[in-house]
Amino acid sequence: MDVMKPDLSLGPLLFNWPADQVRDFYFRIADEADIDVVYFGEAVCAKRRPFLTPFYEAILDRLKAAGKQVILTSLQLAMDGKDMAAIDDMVAMAEDYLIEAGDMAACGKLMGRAFAVAPSVNVYNEGTLRFFEAEGAVRVSLNAELPATSLKALAGVATSRLEVQVFGRVPLAISARCFHARAHKLAKNSCQYVCEQDRDGLEVDTLDGQAFLAINGLQTLSHHYLALVQEMPELVGIGIRGFRLSPHSCNMVKVADLYRARLAGWIDGAEALHRLAGLVPGARFANGFYHGKAGLEAAVPAA
């Protein structure tokens, strides 16, 4: 991959979809999506992993055959020996795949070899970035809460490829407790996998009815969809080289085509945002974090 050429990536699927639908989704991404890099693996809840395991080999083979770079992603919160054993299994595959560390437990296992850093591992300043790069990080996906000024400062010293999320609900927090189960008056250990009922997360409003957050099992997400489609030329200009789309139940092939067109300069920002709204009906878009404002705000980029 050209180190200077920007790439379009598909982040790991955060939601609990039926396993056969996940397989078909990745097969379509492999066959139809203009995506350079695909992150694959369970990032949120270890209980979901066994359902998809039978399809892993077929999915990985299909993605590789289509010329995609596959990066295996680990849990955002490793909580027990089984989770650590899963990380060990990934480390054993590090000769064939780049591994994305979802938390410091995974980072500790991967240091000393080439690896990727997930946005759930907070890299907020130059010192932290240099630390991970010195330990082998070659790709760092930055936290969506960082404003443009911070992204520019990090890009100014980076030797790794820096990536930012440009589409989808933003992961804000992860917990050992399952909010989804609690919402259905269930315990985590007997959750009945109720998170499968909400393909893009369960929306949460404040007491006065304001759209606020979305929950996804152990994970808290933004209610609004991050959309930095207008800001992509500026991001390229400050040194960001990776642009990450988070999978949702909309037509991700068309979403990828739209972001590719914007990245190539074939479409202006206002038109791109207008078309994006048509691809995700009912979604509310935000870009406040990037512009140094509240995350749920929809700031108008400077001309």
pLDDT at 284 over 80: yes
The model's pLDDT over 195-228, given as tens digits with 9 standing for 90+, comes to 999 999 999 988 888 888 999 999 999 999 999 9
Fill in the amino acid letter for 1. M
The model's pLDDT over 124-181, given as tens digits with 9 standing for 90+, comes to 999 999 999 999 999 999 999 999 999 999 999 999 999 999 999 999 999 999 988 8
Cβ neighbours for 34, distance < 8 A, ≥ 6 positions apart: 8, 256, 257, 260
The model's pLDDT over 12-70, given as tens digits with 9 standing for 90+, comes to 999 999 999 999 999 999 999 999 999 999 999 999 999 999 999 999 999 999 999 99
Give pTM, 2 decimals: 0.95
- Tokens standing for residue 55: 């399809």
d(CA 113, CA 134): 10
* Contact between 68 and 60 (Cβ < 8 Å): no
* Contact between 113 and 131 (Cβ < 8 Å): no
- Looking at residue 271, what is its pLDDT? 95
- Tokens standing for residue 35: 């995506």
Q: Which fold has domain 7-169+222-286?
A: TIM Barrel (3.20.20)
* Contact between 222 and 178 (Cβ < 8 Å): no
Question: Where exactly are the structural domains of the chain?
Answer: 7-169+222-286
Cβ neighbours for 126, distance < 8 A, ≥ 6 positions apart: 153, 154, 157
pLDDT at 105 over 60: yes
